[in-house]
DNA sequence: CATAATCTACCTACCAATAGGTAGGTAATC
DNA sequence: GATTACCTACCTATTGGTAGGTAGATTATG
């Protein structure tokens, strides 16, 4: 899901390597928690060379988020195809994140993290983060609407309202697990969030 | 709730002023999103003078979080006294945050924000954030347990599990509202999170 | 009460390190 | 030859912090 395709046509292999490291560093300390120097030493080129691939920091972080969004979209598309049942699809989505967080790979959704810092982000990055939330809300809502109409899950409100609430639970669960230092807490909360949609 | 008492005995008036500004700056850009220079110009002293009050940045942020925790504890205690009904109490808690977020005062819980950045925080700050989450989980759980046993709210799981899920919803709602640039979204999600506890 | 000592809260000056970035150059590849 | 991807050298600005000093307020002492 957040796994990106190493064959993305828009970036060189080195640029993709830089993005991968930016991803990890953002996931740990947010936008201002890492510098080009950090990336440079991980990628084994000089700091100034990073500018060749990404002229400014905002370019790098925007690209990182955009690639994360691409990967998310492809992952959600794949879920739509592979898992016909709406409830099982949401479970698979939550399960995917539970595995990631348990393995710290990645340890958090970078868009959720950047959302927290949104007011101080460059506008082009903030726009990507906002778009990610909107796309995720829309996907969850469409899954819920489908599931509700087919009886595989049961909504207590509108699909849109329930979807935004579910996404909030997922992201809040990431914060909670991180705060108390218990990765399994994410899975517990996510499972609980899903139970409310279980048909009786 | 996050309003602190201006008569706190441990800090000078100037130190409290510094903390208040640190609070705002953290709420906007997190731990690394502000500097002593930012505080200095807001408080109208030289940057070096801030070190007199807080020798290192970690000291300042730790104190800021600690004061926020004190204020939260007092606010929750006051709620316990003023609102006998458990369901109404949770509603008051959520409503308080809804007002804050609508007024951007404060625009987000700094502990939720710092939780996102936890891996890169100084340990003494991370400990305060963790303790905040644990205390909040405990308070919500106790309110839920009381409400459940009195019939004023209904739990689908254990008080501890439901409390952590509720806190996740609240914090996730903060992220969602911030991400999409719609402060009212917090209140919508929070209200929905509460509805699941409404007795039938 | 007057004076000295101490405390508090600021200042200037300075430091090393870092941050994001520019400019010009080289070598390898196509 | 043009492009790509690196390099060195350098820049300004900023960051968190140290060190020494001053002035006013407060406390202790005779």
**pLDDT, tens digit, 9 for 90 and up, residues B167-190:** 999 999 999 999 999 999 999 999
Lookup result for tokens 């939720």 = B112
Q: Is the CB of B142 under 7 A from strand C?
A: no
Report the nucleotide nearest the CA of residue B122, measured to C1'.
Answer: D16
Task: Give Cβ neighbours of residue B99 (< 8 Å, ≥ 6 apart).
Answer: none
Residues in chain B with CB shorter than 8 Å from the CB of A188 are 161, 164
Across the interface, do B169 and A168 touch by the CB < 8 Å criterion? yes
Q: Is the pLDDT of residue A154 over 50?
A: yes
Pick from B164, B169, B195: which is nearest to A185 by CB? B164
pLDDT of res. B1: 54
Average model confidence (pLDDT) for chain A? 94
pLDDT of res. A200: 77
Q: Is the pLDDT of residue B6 over 60?
A: no
pLDDT of res. B200: 77
Interface of A with B in 29-68 (CB under 8 A): 29-33
Interface confidence, given as ipTM, is: 0.93
Q: Is the pLDDT of residue A62 over 90?
A: yes
The C1' atom of C30 and the CA atom of A56 lie apart, in whole Å, by 28
| Residue B2, domain member (yes or no) | no
| pLDDT band of B124, cuts 50, 70, 90 | very high
| Residue B4, domain member (yes or no) | no
| Residue B6, domain member (yes or no) | no
| Residue A24, domain member (yes or no) | no
Report the nucleotide nearest the CA of residue B35, measured to C1'.
Answer: D15
Residue from B165, B177, B182, B197 whose CB has the most chain A CBs within 10 Å, to mutate:
B165
Q: Is the pLDDT of residue B5 over 50?
A: no
DSSP characters over B11-80: S-HHHHHHHHHHHHHHHHH-GGG--HHHHHHHHTS-HHHHHHH-SSHHHHHHHHHHHHHHHHHHHHHHHH
Q: Is the pLDDT of residue A8 over 60?
A: no
| Residue A69, domain member (yes or no) | yes
Which pair of structure tokens corresponds to residue B72? 């939260």
| Residue B146, domain member (yes or no) | yes
Spatial distance between the Cα atoms of A70 and A2, rounded to a whole number of angstroms: 8
Average model confidence (pLDDT) for chain B? 94
Question: Of the ranges A86-95, B8-17, B80-89, which one carries the lowest mean pLDDT score?
Answer: B8-17
The C1' atom of D23 and the CA atom of A100 lie apart, in whole Å, by 59
The range of the structural domain enclosing residue B58 comes to: 13-195
| HSE-CB of A162 using CA atoms within 13 angstroms | 23
pLDDT of res. B185: 98
User: Which chain A residue is nearest to residue B180, measuring alpha carbons?
Assistant: A130
pLDDT of res. B10: 74
Spatial distance between the Cα atoms of A113 and B114, rounded to a whole number of angstroms: 10
Residues in chain B with CB shorter than 8 Å from the CB of A112 are 116, 175
Chain D nucleotides with an atom closer than 7 Å to a protein C-beta = 4-10, 14-20
Q: For position B51, which CATH number holds?
A: 1.10.357.10
Find the mean pLDDT for residues A53-73. Answer: 96
* Percent of all residues in chain B with a pLDDT value above 70, rounded to a whole number: 96
Q: Is the pLDDT of residue A181 over 80?
A: yes
pLDDT of res. A169: 98
| Residue B162, domain member (yes or no) | yes
The C1' atom of C13 and the CA atom of B58 lie apart, in whole Å, by 25
Report the nucleotide nearest the CA of residue B13, measured to C1'.
Answer: C9
Number of domains, chain A: 1
Find the mean pLDDT for residues B70-98. Answer: 98
| Residue B92, domain member (yes or no) | yes
pLDDT digits (tens, 9 = 90+) for A95-112: 999 999 999 999 999 999
Find the mean pLDDT for residues A111-130. Answer: 98
């Amino acid at each position: 899901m957040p796994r990106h395709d190493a064959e993305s046509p828009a970036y060189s292999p080195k640029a993709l390597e830089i993005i991968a490291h930016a991803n990890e560093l953002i996931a740990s300390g947010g936008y201002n928690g890492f510098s080009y120097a950090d990336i440079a030493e991980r990628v084994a080129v000089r700091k100034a060379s990073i500018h060749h691939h990404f002229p400014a920091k905002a370019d790098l972080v925007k690209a990182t988020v955009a690639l994360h969004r691409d990967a998310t979209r492809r992952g959600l598309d794949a879920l739509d195809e592979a898992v016909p049942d709406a409830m099982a699809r949401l479970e698979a989505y939550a399960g995917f994140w539970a595995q990631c967080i348990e393995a710290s790979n990645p340890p958090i959704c970078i868009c959720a993290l950047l959302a927290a810092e949104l007011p101080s982000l460059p506008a082009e990055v903030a726009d990507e983060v906002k778009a990610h939330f909107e796309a995720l809300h829309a996907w969850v809502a469409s899954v819920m609407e489908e599931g509700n109409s087919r009886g595989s899950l049961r909504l207590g409100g509108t699909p849109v309202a329930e979807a935004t609430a579910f996404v909030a639970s997922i992201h809040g669960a990431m914060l909670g697990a991180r705060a108390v230092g218990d990765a399994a807490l994410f899975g517990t909360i996510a499972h609980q969030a899903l139970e409310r949609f279980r048909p009786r």
